[in-house]
Amino acid sequence: MAKRLVIAGLVGYFSLFMVLTLALGFRWNKQRKAPDQPIAFSHEIHVGRLNLDCLFCHDTADKSFFAGVPPVSRCMECHISVKLESAEVQKIHKYMEDQEPIPWNRVHRIRIRDQVYFSHERHVKKDVACAECHGDLGAMAKVRAVRSLKMGFCVSCHQEKEAPTDCLICHK
Ligand code: HEC
Ligand code: HEC
Ligand code: HEC
Ligand code: HEC
Ligand code: HEC
């Protein structure tokens, strides 16, 4: 009897452990997932192959809090004539005609954005490379987050580069 109880207890314990691991693993996976985008835009083509500069499209990264995404007109600078037969490129033309912004889905977001101070300008001007926080975009057909953007990530780099680590530098 006692032996059966012990076995039942052990089985229960390990089942719970498995369920938790799966649940947490799933959450982690979901966070790292690359969301689908309204147009199959690829950094692998535009950065990896065409060698375009990040700031050509994310042109506020060196002068504001946000890096921003390019307006439809930036895409049209080339796609007015490039690859017109592509259904994906025709979508760009449709947004242009309708004068609507492309509704890109966000990949990176600091969880408690309204309580944390984060500026692209500050980092870009100090020559912190985009890749240190975003990975190698030139190899990504679809953007996904490669770093957690959690506090430990911010603080460990600040320690390494002798940037300030007082709480109130980052927290409002
Ligand atoms: C030709 C324009 C273009 C160039 C060049 C470009 N990007 Fe992008 N980028 C985009 C567009 C459009 C999106 C939104 C769609 C997407 O996520 O794929 C985007 C999305 C991103 C995102 C995800 C934004 C989010 O929602 O969190 C990051 C990070 C990023 N780009 C970094 C870079 C870096 C770093 C470079 C240079 C190595 C670069 N990009 C070059 C157009 C460009
Ligand atoms: C500097 C010129 C340039 C800019 C700016 C540019 N592209 Fe491109 N794009 C290209 C070239 C060149 C190709 C590759 C065409 C090929 O494969 O022959 C391409 C390929 C593509 C493709 C793949 C088409 C297919 O079906 O193979 C998509 C989708 C695309 N671009 C979307 C965009 C979007 C969205 C933007 C704006 C955020 C943008 N591009 C900005 C030059 C540009
Ligand atoms: C020190 C880390 C760091 C560096 C360096 C960095 N980013 Fe970011 N990036 C972030 C974080 C954190 C977010 C999410 C911000 C938020 O939640 O508002 C982000 C968001 C973005 C976004 C989404 C749109 C936006 O403006 O929030 C784009 C696009 C982007 N980064 C592009 C770039 C490019 C291009 C560079 C280099 C010129 C760059 N980043 C350098 C950390 C960084
Ligand atoms: C890869 C390295 C790196 C990462 C990751 C990083 N930072 Fe920084 N950060 C720096 C450097 C370098 C400076 C410039 C310090 C200076 O101005 O001398 C800086 C400066 C800052 C400043 C301005 C400090 C001041 O002097 O006013 C703030 C705020 C900040 N970072 C917040 C963040 C937050 C929030 C994150 C995480 C989302 C983050 N940083 C991630 C390297 C990094
Ligand atoms: C370099 C930037 C940076 C510094 C310095 C920093 N933090 Fe943070 N902190 C963050 C970021 C970014 C987050 C959000 C992380 C996330 O999304 O989980 C955060 C989250 C937190 C949270 C969790 C808040 C919540 O609602 O979940 C606490 C508590 C916190 N920080 C306390 C501190 C204290 C105390 C200090 C000083 C010893 C400090 N932080 C220094 C960037 C920083």
Q: What pLDDT, in 10s, does the model give residues 81-95? A: 999 999 999 999 999
- Which residue has its alpha carbon closest to ligand 5 atom 18? 150
The pTM (predicted TM-score) of the whole model is: 0.91
- CA 66 to mean position of chain CA atoms: 13
> Whole-angstrom Cα distance, residue 45 to residue 123?
26
Substitution candidate for ligand 4 out of 110, 125, 128, 149 with most atoms within 8 A of CB: 128
Q: How far is the CA of 31 from the centre of ligand 4 (A)?
A: 23
Q: How far is the CA of 88 from the centre of ligand 4 (A)?
A: 37
Instruction: For ligand 4, say whether the CB of 146 is within 6 Å of any of its atoms.
Output: no
Instruction: For ligand 2, say whether the CB of 75 is within 6 Å of any of its atoms.
Output: yes
Q: How far is the CA of 102 from the centre of ligand 5 (A)?
A: 33
DSSP 2-14: HHHHHHHHHHHHH
**Lowest-pLDDT range, 52-61, 74-83, 146-155?**
146-155
**CA neighbor of 142 nearest in space, from 42, 62, 27:** 42
**Of 22 and 61, more confident:** 61
Contacts for 36-39: CB closer than 8 Å, 24+ residues apart: 36/105, 37/104, 37/105, 37/142, 38/91, 38/102, 38/103, 38/104, 38/105, 39/88, 39/91, 39/92, 39/102
- Which residue has its alpha carbon closest to ligand 2 atom 34? 75
Residue 23 has pLDDT above 60, yes or no: no
A 10 A CB-CB count for 98 gives 9
Report residue 110 as tokens: 């600091």
For tokens 């080339």, name the residue: 78
> Whole-angstrom Cα distance, residue 11 to residue 163?
49
**Lowest-pLDDT range, 5-9, 26-30, 128-132, 148-152?**
26-30
pLDDT band at 58 (very low <50, low <70, confident <90, very high): very high
